[in-house]
Structure formats: C-alpha cells, structure tokens
Structure 1
Amino acid sequence: MIQHIRYSKNIFLILQLLDLVFFISFFLLFLKYQYLQNGEVRTIEQLIKLHYKALILFIFSWCFISINTNIYKISRLDSLYSILKNNLYQTLLFSIVVFAVSGFKTSDLFSPKLSIIYLAILFFFTSLTRIFLFILLKIYRSFGGNIRKVIFIDENSNTQSFINLLSKRKDYGFVNFGIFLFDIKSDLRQKRYNFDLNDLKCFLLEESIQIIFFSLNGKLLESIQDEVVLLSQKCHIDIRFIPNTLYDPFNNLKLKYYDTFPILTFDNFPLDKIWNRILKRIFDIVFSLFIIVFVFSWLFPIIIIIILIDSGKPIFYLQKRVGLYGKIFYCYKFRTMKKSKENDIKATVKGDSRITRIGKILRKTSLDELPQFFNVLFGNMSVVGPRPHMVLQDEYYSEEMRRYTLRHYVKPGITGLAQIKGFRGQISSKEDIQKRIISDIYYIKNWSFILDIFIIIRTFFKTVGGDKKAF
C-alpha cells in the first residue's frame, strides 16, 4: 500500500512539473508575441515583472480546477477516453479564468484569438504527455513492472471470467497469487487453496498481497465475509467484491444520510438530467442534418441506383424495432436482403443466403444504416445508443437476461459502445448477448457528451476500414 501511494505521488509530481513547464513557456512565448504585434519588444525579465501576478493566478487556478477534474490521477483502469475527457473539462474550465483575466487587465495580456490558440496548444501538449505516460505505463506493466499482487476468495459465476480477463489484460498489472475456495484439496501448482482464516492471514503477510477480490454469493458462509473484511483492514489490504450477477440492480446504489443515519438509494443516471437530454437531442438533430445535407445528397442516388440494378425494388426496408421505454417503431434501412417472410422473425447469420450481392458491401461498411438518420430526426433514435433489436428478439432476451430492459432507458442508436467494442454480428451464444448488455449498461450509467463523440469517431474508422463482425 505504501509503495502504491509513493508511485501515485511520483506520477502526480511528474505531470505537475510538465504542466508547470508548459504554463511558463507558453505564457511567456504568447506574451512576447502579443507585444510584438503591438510593435513593442520586451525581454523575458520585463514580461515576468509585468505579468507575474497573472501567471501565478493561472497556475493556482489550474491546480484548483484539477482537484475536481482528477487530471493528475492516472489509474491503471483508466482509458485514453477518460484521460482526454478529464483534460478537456480541465481546459474548458480553465479557459474561463484565461478570458476573465485577459479581459479585466488594463494592460494587454492575450487577445481573444491568442487566448484560444494558447488554450488549444495547452490542451494538446498536456494531453500528449498524459497519453505518452499512459501508454508507457501500460507497456511497463505488460512486461511485469508496477504490479499489484492479488488473491481471490470464494467463487461465483463471474469469478473465473474475471480471472481470465486479468490474465489477458497484463497491462492492468494484476498478478494472481492464488484463489481460496471452500472445502477443496489444495493444489500449489494451480494456485488453489482450501480456505482457512489463519492460513489466509499468514499467506497475506508472507506474500505481501495488496488486493483481495472476494466473490459474493459463493459457497463460504456470509459471516466469513465480515471476517475477511476485518482481516483486510487490520492488514491494510485493499478489498474488492466480484458480484454474482453483472446485472444486479443493487450495483447502482448510492449512500445518503438522513442526519447521521445511512440509507441506500438508487443513483440517478446522467441522462436523468434534463440539460443532458437537451444537449444530446440538439446534437442528434445537428449531426443528422449535416449527414443528410452533405452525405445523403450525393451518396443516396448512387446507392439507390446500385440496389435497383442488383435486385430491383424496394429500395428501403422498414422493420419493427423496440425503442425508448419499450415502444415499437419502424427502423429504416437500405434493403440488403431478398424478399422473405423470415426477414422479420429470423436474425441474420453469417453466410446468410438472403443477403444480396450489393447487400454484403452495404452491411460490411454499415452504409445500410444511413437511412436511420431520418429516425434520429423524427426522434425514434439517437446517433449513439444501444442498437435496437427485432421485437421477437427483444421479447426473448428480456425473459432470458436479467437487466436486459435497462437498455430501453435511453433511445436506441445508429451506433453504440457495443459496436465499437466488436460485440456485433451474429448472436450464437448467451455470452454474445451478455457482452452487448454489459456494454449497453456501462454506456447508460456513464454517458457523457464526450463519450458520444468518442464512439462516433471510432465508428467512422470502423466504417472506413470495414468491420470484420459485420455481414
């Protein structure tokens, strides 16, 4: 734990020192340029003497804002998206200070144009250092550096999948030192041990274990869980819990206090907030109109002619899909399949004989989905969200999968997090739909405008390159 704190402080200091270098360098560089534009030549010493108060205010403002944006906390579980999002929020909030100080000063600091360039360059360079450090740490952990020694206690339906994930994602830096199970014969080669509280305590201390992953609803008695939590606290070891189901509604509970009495309540989702919904809707309308005006105007006639030559009419295919709050709507697509009574009841599979020649190309590039921008304009869909399923599919999965209907909490999307993660195409097993639902639930619980932009950009590159999972 002490090693972990020391490591976090080192990262914190490195990033702050780099930011300080950027601040001072760009601040003086842009000031010098500002004066040159006015026909004045100033030395570095003169610039510091004239504007040192503004520089100090900028530095303190940046540090104060960083407390809320957490830009100096790079966790091993972070993604490039989260790092860039936090840094963007940091820069946007800091821009208020820059424009305010520049406007209130009697002598010139930065012009509005120069202020924007200053902020853009500052965002670019601070992001660059964070991305470089992030990638460097990932590589370092992949080769066995900066590891966290972990153990697993008890086992439920998700434990082995999680162990496999940590084994595959070596860049997380979690090294499995063993799993302690109820009433088994210990096997040192497989790192499997029979659970005993005293043996566990010795193991934790001898191996310097840093994290315990405890599987909920396993075979151990519930009272054992309390004993393990107390043991972890005494040994100053971090303890985390693996849920028995990934769709447990109680995963979203938030602790609130009535005076000093703790009560658990369901936490609000980001799109519960009216301003978030308005922002998402405005973006949907603007983005859809942009695509319709600048892409549909020339691409639509080309696709229509090719479909007519290849397989004749109809051009479009309207299929009932399940949308917001479970409401049925007609989803628009370019027709990519031959006429068949099975089209509304049978999902597409790899090598499906119903798919036309041009249909294969349209599906591979996702161009068959373009008419759905009209669905977005009409309010049935959003640009980004969980992909809508056929009515029969939806009815089946809502019965088979817990928390499946949570995906109806937001409007379905033309693209989504599951699609850019590669969880699209044929559903051949329960695991396939589970991965989609996990991604959809993550999206709903962690929605942000920046996440939508990130998904759109990733979708664009997948469309250009051709998605291997599309057929």
Structure 2
Amino acid sequence: MVLINALFLVLYRALSADYTRLIGHSLKEIILLLNFCYFFALYFVPVRVHLSVVFLDNIVKRSFMLITFQMIMFTTCLIFMRIGHGSARFLIILYGTLLVAFSLWRVVMRVIVKIYRRKGYSVKNVIIVGAGKNGLELYKVLKNDMAYGFNVYGFFDDNEALRGELPNYLGRLKETEAFIETHPVDEIYCTIPGANSEKISGLLSFAEKHMIRFYILPDFYRDIKKSMVMEIMEYVPLLSIRNEPLQSASNRAVKRAFDILFSSLVMLLLYPMLYLVIGLLIKLSSPGPILFKQKRTGLYGKEFDCYKFRTMRVNKEADEKQATRDDPRTTPIGAFLRHTNLDEIPQFVNVLKGDMSVVGPRPHMLKHTEQYSKLIDKYMVRHLVKPGITGWAQITGYRGETKTLEQMEGRVKRDVWYIENWSFFLDLKIIYVTVINMFQGEKNAY
C-alpha cells in the first residue's frame, strides 16, 4: 500500500503536464479510487509470498497479473467518471513503474521470508505418521530447503524394524499422542494406508482437540503421481486427477480472443503477400496445388482438414508416411518452408475457423492417432485441448519426425504437461521461442 501510493504521488507531482489534466477531481478522490482498485484486484490475485513453497517466477507473474488488473480497473473508472482526459502518458508511465517496483518488492519480500526461516524463525514443527514410500517422499520435500519453514521431528510407524534404518524414527503409532503432549507439534502429516481408518480418525480427533493441523497424503499417490484438484459435488468430495486450466471458461475465452486477434493480424498483414510469393515458387517447383489439405485429429478426437503450404511433390503416401530427413518427395522450396516453419502459415485459417489454436499440441495424421493411441497410455489426453500451430513439445526438441516410440512418448508427455500447466504467459513464451527458431532454423525441421 505504501509503495503504490508513494509511487503514484511521486509521478503525479513529477509529470506536471499530466497533473493539470488529472486535477478535474481532488487528489484524495483519485488516490481513494486507486486504492479501491488495488483491493479489488487483490481479491482475485491474493498475496502468496508467505506460503511454504513459492517460486520467484510465479511471484513475478502474479505481480504482473495484479498490477495489470488494478490499472485496467483504475483506467476504466477514470474514463467512466470523466477524470483525467488526455492523461494516457501518465497512466502508461504509472503502469510500467508500478509493474517493475511491485515485482521487485514482492521478490524482496520472499527473499526476506526465506532468510528469516533459514535462521530458524517462523518454523512449523511437524511429524509424519507412516514411514512408507509416500512418507519418505514427503520427508524429502519438507527437508529439501530450510526456507520452506519445516522442522521435521521424525516418523511414527508400527514397523519397528525401521528403528535401525531411520535416524529419526520416533516410535509406534500408539506413541504419537504421548509425543505430542511433550513436544510443540504444529502439523501432522498422515501417510498411512486408508485401511487403517480407525487409527486415522482417532489421530485426527486428537489433533483437533489439541489445535494441530492435520494433513492426509492419499494412499493412491504411490501409483498416481499427479497434481490433483479437489471438487465438491454438494457435500461429496471428488478428486480430479488432472488440473486443466483451460476447463475454466474465462481461460478459454482469453485463449480464443488471443487466437482470433493474432490470427487476424497474420492473415491481414502477412498471409496475402506470403501466399503470392510462396504460391508462385511452389507452382514453379512442381505441378500440383499451392495448399496441401490433410485430415488430422483435433479437439476430443474430431477430424478436421489441416492446411499447409505444399512442400512435397504430389504422392500417394502423403497421408500415411511422415517426412524424413532428405526425403526425396520434398521440393527445394519445400525444404526451405519446413526449415523456417513457413509451411504452417495457412493453419491460421484453421485457427480462425476454430479447429486449432495458435499454441497447443500439434495435430497428428489419423493413422498415427490410431497407431499410437494403442501403444501410449496417455496419448489421447493431448486431444483434451485444441491442437496448435506450435506447442511446448515443438520448442523443447520434439519437432518433426518421431522415429521411435520413446520420441513419441516424450512428445506426448510434454503435450500433457502443457495441458496441465497452461497459462497465457506460457503461450506467449512458446510463440516467442517459435519465432526465434524460425529465424535460426531447427535441425529437426525437415
């Protein structure tokens, strides 16, 4: 609050030309409006720098979201209240200054919190009930960094053979309550199997009576290593085994709006010229159409016609055989188009039609979908979102021909990771890297 208000006042006084335009209302009213917008934005993008595990890049991303949201609201309010007409320069400078200063402030706050915890302050004393595979994995995470703020006393488990194996074995489950009575325990992490429901419920009841927070690590985590999402259907809790940001209507709206805007710019500014030049070169290189149309697998397995600039001579294997290095079917201009990704430009038509997105898993030929869906467990998961012109797999080394099953598994793994970790900023990053690669060229682009 101090930072935002101080920066506003400094800029308000420093930019005298804009000061006269904003004077339509009193300074107090404008500051009140700025602070109201901050609190409203904070409701949607709350502070998280105090949590146990927060990474600095996420702090910067959330700071960007918060300040952007605040400034959009603030500017909109000024427009509707007819305050500060012609003060765009002031608002742009204010936005940039707040963005940099606020991000730095949040990062500094997080660093201070980490230093504070490493010195032994603000530490939570915890015990782990259950020293199986899940318990040991949890222990490694809690002890990974002292900045997380955990002091792990040790394990309780009925397998007394662990006494000689674990340096911090504390005793059997029945000894847990006695230990808590004599030690300041703040949190209990229970990793014992669900079959021991009576022991779990008894320990939970004891923890609540002693105002100790109780966490349960699901037994099935041993087999399903996923980031899960809790949902409630009336009063019944449900665990979704996959976090999908694009399940949110607002996220889909943002992605679709960007797709339409970006594709429209490409189709209006670049496509006509590229079509004329590249089309002429394709016609001169070999007989056949300028565009190549092929059935691909899209959203939820639906087939669609995917467009590309034709890079090969017309052949009967086009719908069955992948392009390979030094493929004899590829024309000279086709090799250049593939190397620079320019052959994909007509797919912006697919984006405008709604069959594809600018960023997403690359659509595969129908034959490959049928083949790999039988060989790779999570292959069809990649079709839970629209396919893209470029994607996370393509910029991380999995572009082009997949010679082995392991290569396709690597691509699918990255496609699923993208689905589970989507963000607008991730899309921008993928587009940026793709454009850079277009100019540098890619070794797998053939």
The CA distance in 1 between the partners of 2:342 and 2:278, in whole Å, is: 9
Residue 63 (str. 1) matches residue 47 (str. 2): no
Aligned 8 A contact 1:256 1:263 in 2 = yes
In the alignment, structure 2 segments of 5+ residues that lack a partner are none
Aligned 8 A contact 1:80 1:131 in 2 = no
CA-based RMSD: 5.6
Aligned 8 A contact 2:49 2:109 in 1 = no
Partner residue of 1:29 out of 14, 20, 24: 14
The CA distance in 1 between the partners of 2:54 and 2:195, in whole Å, is: 31
Please name the residue that 2:238 is paired with: 264
Correspondence 1:264-303 to 2 at 5 A:
264=238, 280-303=255-278
Task: Quickly say closer, same or farther: Cα 1:115–1:355, change in 2 above 3 A.
Answer: farther
How many Å apart are 1:387 and its aligned residue? Answer: 1.8
Correspondence 1:157-176 to 2 at 5 A:
none
- 3-state SS in 2 of match to 1:332: strand
How many Å apart are 1:69 and its aligned residue? Answer: 1.1
The CA distance in 2 between the partners of 1:179 and 1:434, in whole Å, is: 38
How many Å apart are 1:381 and its aligned residue? Answer: 1.6
How many Å apart are 1:237 and its aligned residue? Answer: 7.4
- 3-state SS in 2 of match to 1:344: coil
Task: Quickly say closer, same or farther: Cα 1:330–1:454, change in 2 above 3 A.
Answer: same
How many Å apart are 1:109 and its aligned residue? Answer: 5.4
Correspondence 1:57-136 to 2 at 5 A:
57-71=33-47, 73=49, 76-78=53-55, 80=57, 83-84=60-61, 87-100=64-77, 104=81, 111-114=86-89, 116-126=91-101, 128-129=103-104, 133=108
How many Å apart are 1:25 and its aligned residue? Answer: 2.3
The alignment's TM-score, normalised by the length of structure 1, stands at 0.64
Correspondence 1:326-337 to 2 at 5 A:
326-337=301-312
AA partner of residue 19 (structure 1): I
String of CA shifts for 1:432-455, please: whole Å, max 9, x gaps.
144134224315xx5x65554454
Residue 245 (str. 1) matches residue 224 (str. 2): yes
The CA distance in 1 between the partners of 2:172 and 2:383, in whole Å, is: 45
- 3-state SS in 2 of match to 1:120: helix
Residue 395 (str. 1) matches residue 370 (str. 2): yes
Aligned 8 A contact 1:77 1:172 in 2 = no
Aligned 8 A contact 1:153 1:212 in 2 = no
Aligned 8 A contact 2:290 2:310 in 1 = yes
Task: Quickly say closer, same or farther: Cα 1:401–1:126, change in 2 above 3 A.
Answer: farther
The alignment's TM-score, normalised by the length of structure 2, stands at 0.67
Please name the residue that 1:222 is paired with: 194
Partner residue of 2:410 out of 416, 420, 432: 432
Aligned 8 A contact 2:37 2:74 in 1 = yes
Residue 51 (str. 1) matches residue 38 (str. 2): no
Task: Quickly say closer, same or farther: Cα 1:343–1:72, change in 2 above 3 A.
Answer: same
Would you say how many aligned residue pairs link Structure 1 and Structure 2? 425
Partner residue of 2:420 out of 442, 445, 452: 442
The CA distance in 2 between the partners of 1:353 and 1:184, in whole Å, is: 64
Identical positions, percent: 28
The CA distance in 2 between the partners of 1:316 and 1:171, in whole Å, is: 58
Task: Quickly say closer, same or farther: Cα 1:171–1:195, change in 2 above 3 A.
Answer: closer
Partner residue of 1:411 out of 375, 380, 386: 386
The CA distance in 1 between the partners of 2:37 and 2:389, in whole Å, is: 40
Task: Quickly say closer, same or farther: Cα 1:192–1:57, change in 2 above 3 A.
Answer: same
Aligned 8 A contact 1:182 1:194 in 2 = no
In the alignment, structure 1 segments of 5+ residues that lack a partner are 1-15, 41-46, 215-219
- 3-state SS in 1 of match to 2:231: strand
Is 126-135 or 113-122 further displaced after alignment?
A: 126-135
AA partner of residue 457 (structure 1): Y
How many Å apart are 1:346 and its aligned residue? Answer: 3.8
Aligned 8 A contact 1:384 1:415 in 2 = yes
The CA distance in 1 between the partners of 2:146 and 2:340, in whole Å, is: 31
- 3-state SS in 1 of match to 2:38: helix
Please name the residue that 1:44 is paired with: none
Is 273-282 or 283-292 further displaced after alignment?
A: 273-282
How many Å apart are 1:299 and its aligned residue? Answer: 3.2
Aligned 8 A contact 1:179 1:191 in 2 = no
Please name the residue that 2:232 is paired with: 255
How many Å apart are 1:321 and its aligned residue? Answer: 0.7
AA partner of residue 274 (structure 2): L
